[in-house]
Amino acid sequence: MSSSRAKASKSAAPGRPKDAGKGAAILETAKRLFLSQGYEGVSMDQIAAEAGVSKLTVYSHFGDKETLFAAAAKAYCDQQLPTSLFEPRPDLPLRERLLQVARVFFAMVASPEAVAGQRMLSTPQMAETSVPRMFWDAGPQRVQDAFAELLRARVAAGQLQIDDVPRAAAQFFALLKGEPHAKLVFGCGPLGDEEAEAHVRASVAMFLRAYATR
């Protein structure tokens, strides 16, 4: 452990109150810098300087760079895909409810920020770290778990017939990303609004053909 990390660990003693405003400033700065410069291109010194806090404060709030990255990824997903998006909403028809989730999810993963993050996580340098797994648990896994609860509610209502709900939740988002998302990551050009809507509708239709109660 470096001397600065050791000092930070000492300063982050259990029970010591932390400034929520500083924590939020660090998180916002980290999200912006990681997206624009990549994980390796950003230092804790840089995050501290641009957030207007000391490096010890950054370590006190988040422990290390990997933990801060995971927290930034979770905060981004929470902002773009809030928990309320996955409420069962039994008052809405099943297809309409799935389309609501699908449109918001695809808009998020197709955004320039998310595409840049996907490219960053796919580099050989990142593959050798624990960061991709931390990102997965904080972002995609949280989304899949929340959506699985929506599916279980619709199964209980007799609208879906699913034996393996977690697998079905993963399949739903895999369908939504599909070829359009891969082409965005590879830099094959933007997707028009009409094409994106057609893709989302086709993905939801395929999901319902597999799992909707006949």
pLDDT given for residue 6 in this prediction:
42
Nearest to 8 by CA among 64, 78, 86: 64
Domains of the chain, each with CATH number or no CATH: 3-75 (1.10.10.60), 81-211 (1.10.357.10)
Burial class (CB in 10 A: 0-12, 13-18, 19+), 21: exposed
Per-residue pLDDT, 160: 98
Position 113 scores a pLDDT of 86
pLDDT score, position 171: 98
Burial class (CB in 10 A: 0-12, 13-18, 19+), 62: buried
Residues of the chain whose pLDDT is less than 50?
A: 1-15
Q: Tell me which residue has tokens 């082409």.
A: 183
Residue 16: predicted pLDDT: 53
The residue with tokens 């997707």 is 191
